Structure 1
Amino acid sequence: MALTEEQRGYLESIWTNVKHTAAFSGPYKLYQIVKKEGKHKIGLKGIREFLSDLESYSLQKRVQRKFPRRHILTDSIDTIWDGDLQDVRNISKDNEGVQYIWVLQDIFSRYLFTAPLKQKTATNIIEALKAIFASGRKPEVLRTDKGKEFKNHRVVSFLKDEDVHQIFTENETKSNFAERSIQNLENRLHRMFTHNQSYEFLSKLQSVTDNINNTPSRPLGGITPASVTKKNVEEVRYSAYLQRNKKKSAVSKKLRNTKKERKRPFKFKLNDKVRISHLRRLFQREYDQKWTGEIFKVSGRYRSQGLPVYKLKDFAGEPILGTFYAQELQKVRTDDNSIWKIDKILQERKRKGTVEVLVSWHQWPAKFNSWIKKSDVKEV
């Protein structure tokens, strides 16, 4: 049942009153306080809907980070490499001015490549790739995030000439294989720093990389990344991937026998309006805005590897690149009575006796700037 105007007024009066214990609280705490006061009978669902209509809540709503995601499937060595940069600017003075480590990992074999960079320019990226490719290994596909250094036209052209297909990740996990490798590399380097009482790594980087490549890998069933070659690909694929998946399937079958298997339902309908969770940077503070101010529409939905995923479009009908999990979206409700915040009044004109203003909308791209009646602009 929809909330009445009286109920909405009551919830707004206590939620925005900084002297009230319910001020700016989450749905469950607000529900508990409303229930305790007993002035109105409002369920948790109604409170969630009320809060989702408030921009001040929906932009700050906690984002779920851990949830089942689709797997990247590759069936051979050097099919797909993941790449990312490790930032070491804070210790560059101890390492001849090196500011980044270019980390690449073959997804199938988990084999790691590293290259020190003094800057993340196109020239540095290309020279590092040339050195790595000269070792005799090269991927069919290179996967990175959308950093400017990777999208530079010279890097794109170089990879094209090398017959390497380049793809960019569109979601917040970005280059997750390379990022995990960076974490592993970072852990080893920091232990070395502590042992040596020095932040110098440049002369030892290749040795540390070799050590990682010669360490048994759990995802490979105990095989070392360095021992995976084109000659034993089928053996590795069977022992590390197919056998492991058989065990998982056996466990899943037992679970299906005890509990009816259900497909994950779709959370959103076509044309639902949603916000997208921001791609957070490491160490971003929790009170920073977590969701886009711009609102999008669900344009498509389907299941991939059994997981519901969604396609989006903006309010101009232009498709948004990539697919999104339900956990990366938040439903919002808007109608003709919704209030939209204005960033700036850019121009003013008079047409057929009516004064109009060109406005830019708060947290919306410039392409949505539009003319509205000046009389519709209100101070809030």
Structure 2
Amino acid sequence: MAEDVIQSIYDNPSKLAAFFGAKKNHKVLQNSGVQKPAIHKIRRWLQKQDDYSLEKPARRRFTRAKVVVSDINEQWDVDLADMQSLSKENGARYLLVAIDIFSRFARVYPLKNKTGKEVAKGLEQMFQSAQPKKIRSDAGSEFKNAYVKNLFKVRNIYHHIALNEVKANYVERLNKTLKVLIWRFLARKRTKRYTDILPKLVESYNSTPHRSINNVAPKDVNENNSADIWAYMYLKPRKQSALKSLKNTINKAKTLYRYKIGQLVRLSHQRKPFTRVYNEQWTYEVFKISRRFQMQSIPLYREVDLLGEEVLGNWYQAEIQPIDRHENALWEIQKVLKTRRINNKTQCLVKWTGYSDKFNSWVDKSEVKNL
């Protein structure tokens, strides 16, 4: 039987390609004198193996939908830069950093802490000079609290929380640039105090031409040149190789979807801190695809857990992994919480490995197996 042949290779540490993926196992089987299962059968068998799907390397680089803005202050990215190592000399533990996605104009405000009240105070100071229509941040509690929510409500600002691995990527890039500038200054001047010159560093950043906006400085972006800058950012001619690559990406996407609605999948740990059991790259918990759609010709998916509760966020194909769970598949129990007797049957309340307490359930003791 094909599955027995695959298992005899995969399960034996002394065999070539033991615990490897489909291609390696297929090659070993091709070079052996035994039955040679087709590679799709090997892939299908591996989808049933928890150890394989949990530890499969997760891709970090793949085509993502882009943020497209049409004008200045349409959307800001905001984040906190951690400066706790220099707090004693500067009186600030964090920097509240904001960047206008269209003009790349930066705003920075030192914070004593990252409480909601302090963050709201910093945002209010930024809004004195300009106010965006939308703000994007990560899911940190510093942006998800009553003080900040109320500020956004009063000022009629839409708050979008980025749930994917990249998060608010424009401001995260700015954070890195800002820290490099600060540390270079500190090393040059043999000091640990930067807050006195922070406004000058930010002003220098805003006065420096940016390649991404046609070598215009952020402070010089205005109503008179915004149309030209928008055209440069989104309509500029691409090199032939880049255009060809883009066309190939779109053509691949137009083949539509790799996965079906209702299909069981694991989700990448790089996106969200799900419960980990070992050092797995994918969720131990299994989810079900509930919806699929396209954004900028890129396939995206929505999922629900096995109780039907929706998982937040849209997921790219590279962030989900299909698995095969047949009817008689075993589900690992982390702990038996208690037992009871009903209708002459002993039942166990069990906590399932990799699942939250909401999944705790009663099962007949006769169905519990020791492996």
TM-score w.r.t. the length of structure 1 is: 0.87
Deviation at 1:187, TM superposition (A): 2.6
Q: Residues of 2 paired with 1:254 and 1:363: CA distance?
A: 43
Q: Residues of 2 paired with 1:305 and 1:200: CA distance?
A: 45
Q: Deviations over 1:36-77 (max 9, x none)?
A: 443331333333222222111211111111111111121111
Residue in structure 1 matching 2:286, options 275, 291, 295: 295
Residue 151 of structure 2 corresponds to 158
Residue in structure 1 matching 2:329, options 327, 333, 338: 338
Q: Residues of 1 paired with 2:244 and 2:63: CA distance?
A: 20
Change in CA separation of 1:257 and 1:137 when aligned onto 2, cut-off 3 Å: closer
Deviation at 1:316, TM superposition (A): 1.6
Query: Are 2:321 and 1:321 aligned?
Result: no
Q: Residues of 2 paired with 1:133 and 1:260: CA distance?
A: 39
Deviation at 1:193, TM superposition (A): 3.4
Q: Deviations over 1:84-141 (max 9, x none)?
A: 1122223333433x2222111111111111122232111220111122112x201111
Residue 275 of structure 2 corresponds to none
Residue 3 of structure 2 aligns with an amino acid whose one-letter code is: R
The answer to whether the Cα contact below 8 Å between 2:208 and 2:218 also exists between their aligned partners in 1 is yes
Change in CA separation of 1:78 and 1:37 when aligned onto 2, cut-off 3 Å: same
Q: Residues of 2 paired with 1:89 and 1:58: CA distance?
A: 39
Instruction: Describe the SS at the equivalent of 2:55.
Output: coil
Residue in structure 2 matching 1:110, options 98, 104, 129: 104
Q: Residues of 1 paired with 2:246 and 2:171: CA distance?
A: 35
Change in CA separation of 1:148 and 1:216 when aligned onto 2, cut-off 3 Å: same
Change in CA separation of 1:237 and 1:280 when aligned onto 2, cut-off 3 Å: closer
User: What is the identity percentage for the equivalent residue pairs of Structure 1 and Structure 2?
Assistant: 31
Instruction: Count matched residues.
Output: 366
The answer to whether the Cα contact below 8 Å between 2:250 and 2:298 also exists between their aligned partners in 1 is no
Query: Are 2:53 and 1:58 aligned?
Result: yes
1:84-99 map, 5 Å: 84-96=79-91, 98-99=92-93
Residue 66 of structure 2 corresponds to 71
Instruction: Describe the SS at the equivalent of 1:309.
Output: strand
Query: Are 2:301 and 1:306 aligned?
Result: no
Q: Residues of 1 paired with 2:88 and 2:63: CA distance?
A: 41
Q: Residues of 1 paired with 2:233 and 2:79: CA distance?
A: 25
Residue 115 of structure 2 corresponds to 121
Change in CA separation of 1:251 and 1:190 when aligned onto 2, cut-off 3 Å: same
Change in CA separation of 1:60 and 1:253 when aligned onto 2, cut-off 3 Å: closer
Q: Residues of 2 paired with 1:259 and 1:331: CA distance?
A: 22
The answer to whether the Cα contact below 8 Å between 2:58 and 2:319 also exists between their aligned partners in 1 is yes
Q: Residues of 1 paired with 2:233 and 2:96: CA distance?
A: 28
Which runs of 4 or more aligned residues in structure 1 lie more than 6 Å from their structure 2 counterparts after TM superposition? Answer: 249-260
The answer to whether the Cα contact below 8 Å between 2:26 and 2:36 also exists between their aligned partners in 1 is no
Mark the runs of 5 or more structure 2 residues left unpaired by the alignment. 273-277
Q: Deviations over 1:249-269 (max 9, x none)?
A: 988888899999562431001
Residue 359 of structure 2 aligns with an amino acid whose one-letter code is: F
Q: Deviations over 1:161-220 (max 9, x none)?
A: 122111111221111111111122223233333333444322222222111111111121
1:1-380 map, 5 Å: 4=1, 7-96=2-91, 98-134=92-128, 136-230=129-223, 232-238=225-231, 240-241=232-233, 243-244=235-236, 247-248=237-238, 261=251, 263-279=254-270, 288-380=279-371
The answer to whether the Cα contact below 8 Å between 2:163 and 2:271 also exists between their aligned partners in 1 is no
The answer to whether the Cα contact below 8 Å between 2:47 and 2:323 also exists between their aligned partners in 1 is yes
Q: Residues of 1 paired with 2:341 and 2:43: CA distance?
A: 43
Mark the runs of 5 or more structure 1 residues left unpaired by the alignment. 282-286
| Residue range with higher mean Cα deviation, 197-206 or 64-73 | 197-206
Change in CA separation of 1:80 and 1:21 when aligned onto 2, cut-off 3 Å: same
